[in-house]
Amino acid sequence: MEQEGKFTIGCDPEFFLYDRDFEQYMSAIPFVKGTKEKPEPLNSGGFIMRDNVALEFGMPPANSIDEWVESVNLTMRDVERYIPEWLELKVVASGEFSKQQLTDPEAKEIGCDPDFNAWTGKRNIPPIGFAESTFRSCGGHIHVGYVKESGNEFLLDNDGKRYMIQAMDCVHGLWSVLLDNSPESIARRNIYGKAGCYRPTEYGVEYRTLSNFWVKTNKLKELMYRFTADALALASDIAQLNHVIREIGGADKVQGIINTGDVDWIKDSFAMIAQYISPETDYLLVEVLNEQD
């Protein structure tokens, strides 16, 4: 894999806690001590915290595909040991909570750190009416970091960060339409995880478009790593990135496909957009899609 070892990769996926006996989602606020301001460390080297009513974990940045998959798995095992036995860690993109689970003031707050649209360069506007809504969602954000002398210095440049997110939309974002099209994911996409959603970081970028769907299997985790390597290669060649965007139909088209979850377009254009991922990634993608059928 051409880019392996030339970037770091991390994540901060979110999950709901589910009470199997009462068949309802439970707020993580009473069960998770860690917060955004003071995450609680885990034995794996990762950390756990609550984000609104969801449980969120982070992990040390990985430098290889094997390290990435192992680190995510170790952190998830720590999280599963952390929560009470009678609760289940639910990998779902969105859901409705009872009003009783949303009485804590923290359950009505949206994270204060802004995120941005890499296509427009503008700050994203938080959803209106969040505090009154019973709808909550879970992201599966991916962090990409610069490695010294990797040739990927653009990850430290403001314009380069945007190019990287645009490339991730052309890879992760488009393929996620096919990989992640459950009713819960469609509902999430109507409000959160729009195309190009990101935060610039001191080490690179945080891609915020994806839900948590990719933590379900090792093959999906591996696929996210390979997608990231392919996107990095694409972002390093601006002329090629612009060619891909034009071939898809332009910036507005890329965003529209992701934001509307246009599965038919992805299926009709499968061969065309598969040109921009490596043969190894393509093989794994087809394998994953066949297993989902």
Asked if 235 contacts 166 with a C-beta cutoff of 8 angstroms, the reply is yes
Asked if 123 contacts 199 with a C-beta cutoff of 8 angstroms, the reply is no
pLDDT in the model for residue 113: 80
Share the mean pLDDT of the chain.
95
CATH fold of 7-292: Creatine Kinase; Chain A, domain 2 (3.30.590)
Mean predicted confidence (pLDDT) in 100-109 = 95
Q: Is the pLDDT of residue 49 over 90?
A: yes
Q: Which residue has the higher pLDDT, 58 or 111?
A: 58
Give exposure, 249-264, as e/b (b: 16+ Cβ within 10 Å).
eebeebbebbbebbee
Could you give the CA distance from residue 49 to residue 106 in angstroms, rounded to a whole number? Answer: 13
Mean pLDDT lowest among 80-94, 119-133, 157-171, 202-216:
119-133
Q: Is the pLDDT of residue 1 over 70?
A: no
Asked if 152 contacts 146 with a C-beta cutoff of 8 angstroms, the reply is yes
Give me the residue spans of the domains in the chain.
7-292
Q: Which long-range contacts (CB under 8 A, 24 or more apart) does 46-50 make?
A: 46/71, 46/74, 46/75, 46/78, 48/78, 48/79, 48/82, 50/106
